[in-house]
Amino acid sequence: MKSAEEKDAKRSALVAETNSREASLIARILDGERELFHELIRPYERGLYVAAYSIVQHEADAEDVAQESVIKAYKCLKSFRGEARFSTWLMAITLNEARNRWRKNKGDQLDFLSDCDESAGDYTPSVLADWRYIPSEEVDRQELRTALRGAIAKLSPEQREVLILRDVRGMSIAETASATGVNEGLVKVRLFRARISMQKLLAPQLMPKQRGIMGWLTRKAGGQ
């Protein structure tokens, strides 16, 4: 197994290579090769949809938000200064669009980023005597995917954002902070609460003694 240092070095090299390639693409797009914008956003389009969906919780709205965000990024590309990574800048635009859509849909006057959720809630995990590992192949099961998405939907919008950026998109804490517009400390707090809540919501449901998904997995493992 590779050491954490090796993984970090590999990730840094990949990031540097991507940044360099994207800077070159952006320069050419701004110089008139507009078609290259398709290539620039292609690696991120799926992530934009998932991030938008995590906030608006509606497929058609998430798709519309993703499209609007890409168009806004295209129109505003000149204003991209390269202080953050392009992917982080693009994600920040998407999150803003999604928050606006969410507010509009909810008719909610509360500020999306009000920290009203930060002190409330019980963030104690579900305490189990043991845990049966669930292999990734089981994500092919619609039932499991529904349970995972259902648990995410129960998180606060702020927690959903950081969970999606960090644990689904694999962004660093610093990139997540930059994309969401909050400091790293608050990202960590929200991430902690999101992860513990996911464990609390899902672990009992997925345990072998329960009926349902895990019961099915257990029976399958036992060849029944």
Partner 1 sequence: MTLNCKHVWAQVSDYIDGTVTPETKEAIERHLANCRYCSAVLDSTRNILVLVGDERTFEVPVGFGERLHNRLQSLMDPPGSGA
Q: Which residues are near partner 1 by CB under 8 A?
A: 4, 34-35, 37-38, 41-42, 45-46, 49-50, 53, 59, 63, 66-67, 70-71, 74, 124-131, 133-134, 136, 138-140, 144-145, 148-149, 152, 163, 167-168, 170, 173, 188, 191-192, 195-196, 198-199, 202-203, 206
Residue type, 93: I
Query: Closer to partner 1 at the Cβ: 31 or 130?
Result: 130
CB of 80 to partner 1, least distance (A): 16
Q: Which residue has the tokens 């619609």?
A: 142
For residue 146, give the nearest of 195, 200, 205 by alpha carbon.
Answer: 205
Query: Closer to partner 1 at the Cβ: 88 or 159?
Result: 159
For residue 29, give the nearest of 39, 19, 20 by alpha carbon.
Answer: 39
CB of 117 to partner 1, least distance (A): 16
Helix or strand (DSSP H, E) at 33: none
CB of 100 to partner 1, least distance (A): 19
CB of 18 to partner 1, least distance (A): 19
Q: Report how far residue 65's alpha carbon sits from residue 88's, in angstroms, rounded to the nearest whole number.
A: 16
Query: Closer to partner 1 at the Cβ: 34 or 106?
Result: 34
Residue type, 6: E
For 166, the token pair is: 């960090």
CB of 200 to partner 1, least distance (A): 9
Q: Report in angstroms the alpha-carbon separations of 50 from 20, 68, 91, 174, 184.
A: 26, 14, 11, 20, 22
Query: Closer to partner 1 at the Cβ: 10 or 108?
Result: 10
For residue 105, give the nearest of 157, 161, 154 by alpha carbon.
Answer: 157
Query: Closer to partner 1 at the Cβ: 4 or 110?
Result: 4
CB of 24 to partner 1, least distance (A): 20
Taking the CB of residue 15, how many other CB atoms lie within 10 A of it? 14
Tell me 154's DSSP state: T
Query: Closer to partner 1 at the Cβ: 23 or 71?
Result: 71
For 89, the token pair is: 């800048």
